[in-house]
Amino acid sequence: MNKIKPQFLPGGKLSKLHSFYEGMETFLFTPNDTSRSGAHIHDGNDLKRTMIMVLVALAPAMLFGMYNIGLQHYMAIGQTASTSWLTMWTFGLLAILPMIVVSYAVGLGIEFISAQIHGKEIQEGFLVTGMLIPLIVPINTPLWMVAVATAFAVIFAKEVFGGTGMNIFNVALITRAFLLGAGTIINGFSGATPLGQVSTHVGDTMTLHNVVGDPISTWDAFMGFIPGSPGEVSTLAILIGAAILLITGIASWRVMGSVFVGGLAMGALVHALPSATYPASLLNPIDQICYGGFAFAAVFMATDPVTGARTHIGQYIYGFLIGVIAILIRVYNNGYPEGAMLAVLLMNVFAPLIDYCVVQANINRRMRRARANK
């Protein structure tokens, strides 16, 4: 790698492709431009390695999602008993693989081209985004729609704001919002998801059914044996990912925790005031967390360090409001049975404002203290 490097440095014959070389070098090896002498200890853990830890944390949800695609498929055609879990998993893998390829090819393609045009290094933000996209769109979305939505999100939510680290909105969520607006998906699955059934439910007692009409329990929803987008079905797998993110210190426990607190609090509140007009208020708070994309949004979307709040107090407020708004949209807006993703996007807008207020409040407090001590 180092041997071919001079060709890409300014003056070399391939210097135009420098950003491509740079991207590949840091992706495959630990770059040797960390400081090696002096008193500064410089961690070899760069942005790319941080991103890869997020991918590791996504793995349980993804692997389970693949299995669940197969499970739902074979359940629908009534061959669950005669099919091994491996066959189901392979079915799911083959179903989701083209989406992953399309998402990465389109997204990275745009990033590479943009980096070449601007003469910058390739930013690696898309590593995670590219994996999140297949996990939050329904498995039966046409591939070209995924490609269009990804291109739209990368160009309009990221590149026009200045690339990785400058975006206001979470890019993966913009992709989903694009598909939602385009009318291809209603709530993460074109069939009847539990939340989709909830929103059209009539009556005072709530019973939900899976593809073949068996009732769904909270336990099924927690484990993930329910229809939904690949990544978001299994709350358990998401929690494993959450543990990885928290132990490695990549995600903010303040945001993640307060989203769940906010969701549970609002879930308890709406459950205390049940109404037949808003059927989702019949779900208890635990069900609210387990169904739909709430847990996935809390663990992988809200904790995005770029689009979220950065001050500690701000992170509590930011997370709590995501939880509250997610349940609010889900319960009181029957047009959108799934509110978690929209809540994160909405709070993305407010994150800088929250940070500003927290910082200003701190400045004012210190000013008062300084004056009092004078």
Partner 1 sequence: MLSKRNKEALFNPLSKENPVLVQILGICSTLAVTVSLEPAIVMSISVIAVLALSNVIISLIRNTIPTSIRIIVQLVVVAALVIIVQQFLIAFDYDVSKQLSVFIGLIITNCILMGRLEAFALNNSPWPSFLDGIGNGLGYGIILVIVAFFRELLGSGTILGFKVIPQWCYDHGYMDNGLMILPPMALITVACIIWVHRARNTDLQETSN
DSSP string, 132-187: HHHHHS-TTS-HHHHHHHHHHIIIIIIGGGTSTTT-SS-HHHHHHHHHHHTTS-SS
Pick 117 or 212: Cβ nearer partner 1:
117
How many CB atoms within 10 Å of residue 315? 25
The verdict on 119 binding partner 1 (CB under 8 A) reads: no
The verdict on 151 binding partner 1 (CB under 8 A) reads: no
Pick 129 or 175: Cβ nearer partner 1:
175
Q: Could you give the CA distance from residue 140 to residue 144 in angstroms, rounded to a whole number?
A: 11
Angle, helix 18-28 to helix 85-118, in steps of 10 degrees? 140
The verdict on 142 binding partner 1 (CB under 8 A) reads: yes
Compute the least distance from the CB of residue 195 to partner 1, in Å. 20
Q: Could you give the CA distance from residue 184 to residue 353 in angstroms, rounded to a whole number?
A: 33
Q: How far is CA 178 from CA 145, 149, 341, 373, in A?
A: 10, 6, 12, 55
Binding partner 1 by CB under 8 A: which of 77, 97, 166, 182? 182
Compute the least distance from the CB of residue 312 to partner 1, in Å. 32
Q: Which residues contact 271 (CB under 8 A, 6 or more apart)?
A: 281, 282, 283, 284, 285
The verdict on 336 binding partner 1 (CB under 8 A) reads: no
In this structure, what token pair is assigned to residue 312? 């500690």
Instruction: Please say whether the beta carbons of 327 and 293 come within 8 A.
Output: no
Residue where the block lists tokens 């995924």: 146
Binding mask 154-173 for partner 1 (x = CB under 8 A): --x-----------------
Compute the least distance from the CB of residue 307 to partner 1, in Å. 18
Binding mask 215-254 for partner 1 (x = CB under 8 A): ----------------------------------------
The verdict on 116 binding partner 1 (CB under 8 A) reads: no
Pick 144 or 219: Cβ nearer partner 1:
144
Contact stretch for partner 1 (CB under 8 A) within 31-39, 57-65, 141-149, 217-225? 141-149
Q: Which residues contact 191 (CB under 8 A, 6 or more apart)?
A: 211, 227
The verdict on 334 binding partner 1 (CB under 8 A) reads: no
Pick 184 or 334: Cβ nearer partner 1:
184
The verdict on 144 binding partner 1 (CB under 8 A) reads: yes
Contact stretch for partner 1 (CB under 8 A) within 36-44, 166-174, 177-185, 307-315? 177-185
The verdict on 184 binding partner 1 (CB under 8 A) reads: yes
Compute the least distance from the CB of residue 69 to partner 1, in Å. 19
The verdict on 181 binding partner 1 (CB under 8 A) reads: yes
The verdict on 178 binding partner 1 (CB under 8 A) reads: yes
Give the rounded distance of the alpha carbon of 10 from its chain centre. Answer: 38
The verdict on 10 binding partner 1 (CB under 8 A) reads: no
Q: Could you give the CA distance from residue 171 to residue 306 in angstroms, rounded to a whole number?
A: 11
Q: Could you give the CA distance from residue 107 to residue 130 in angstroms, rounded to a whole number?
A: 7
Compute the least distance from the CB of residue 181 to partner 1, in Å. 4
Could you give the dihedral angle defined by the CA atoms of residues 36, 37, 42 and 44, in that order, rounded to the nearest 10 degrees? 10
Contact stretch for partner 1 (CB under 8 A) within 47-55, 62-70, 88-96, 144-152? 144-152
Q: Could you give the CA distance from residue 233 to residue 223 in angstroms, rounded to a whole number?
A: 8
The verdict on 38 binding partner 1 (CB under 8 A) reads: no
Q: Which residues bind partner 1 (CB under 8 A)?
A: 142, 144-145, 148, 156, 178, 181-184
